[in-house]
Amino acid sequence: MKNIVLFSFLLISFLGISQQKTTGDVPLSPNIGITANFTLDNTTSTVTLVLKGPSDRWFGLGIGVSAGFSMSAGDAVVYSAVTTPKLTDRNFTGFVQPPLDSSQDWTIVSDLVAGSVRTLTLTRALTNSDPNDYQMPYATTNSISFAGPRPASATTTVGPHGGTANVGYATASFTSVLGVNDTEMTNKKVVFYPNPSKETITFKNVDKIKSVDIYESAGRKVRSVKPDGESIDVRDLKPGIYYLEITLKDGNLSYEKLIKE
């Protein structure tokens, strides 16, 4: 059983806990009133796009591009309140209005208007077989570039955006998101130093600790300790990697890796 626990700890430590990463809200520059927020979910294999734009006109977003909205091959979504469907999946083909994609892959989760701002929540699979869609495999998608247009004046008829003054651009990096379980594990984490250590390790939050069990990497317990003060003597341990199973006073467990020099 201990080997299973330690193996699970290793998986969490080296593969990571979080299964989501996000760009956060990224406004396009220059400011044309369009903001995009991409969140990739490795558990559900979906991307959620929260797209904000003007509520009185059509607007769109070119995904995976860093130049003009209709100036290079690429993926696009366009919203207009009068089209059917209101959100259309399109692709770039040059200096023309982006034509409809043969596969409409984005789904509208919500469409909310507050004053002059429309907020769309859209979702799609991270990857698919559509050659016109920008693919977002979770493991390798660490940044994304996008461009957004909207017309110069209020209109719901999709057409030319009217020049570069009505187009914005952005490039954003993804950062990991802590879920509920991740946050709970972070709160239970016990901090000690130095690591690697030669003689002693000192716990910063020893007041939370009831006992410490030390295991070799193979899973054999080598010692059980009830901290007397803030430090534990480890000088008699052979050099190598050990794992600490720390029982907290609230009954929870924390697992930490120790490198003994």
pLDDT at 57: 93
Distance CA 151, CA 167 (A): 9
pLDDT digit string, tens, across residues 115-147: 999 999 999 999 988 888 889 999 899 999 998
pLDDT at 189: 65
Domains of the chain: 2-14+180-260 (2.60.40.3080), 18-177 (2.60.40.1210)
Pick the range with the lowest mean pLDDT from 97-101, 172-176, 206-210, 254-258. Answer: 97-101
- Check: CB of residue 44 under 8 Å from CB of residue 190: no
Band (pLDDT 50/70/90 cuts) for residue 183 is very low
Q: Whole-model pTM?
A: 0.62
pLDDT at 34: 95
Q: Is the pLDDT of residue 167 over 70?
A: yes
Distance CA 47, CA 126 (A): 5
Buried-state track 190-227, b at ≥16 Cβ within 10 A, e below 16: bebeeeebeeebebeebebbeebbbbeeeeeeeeeeeb
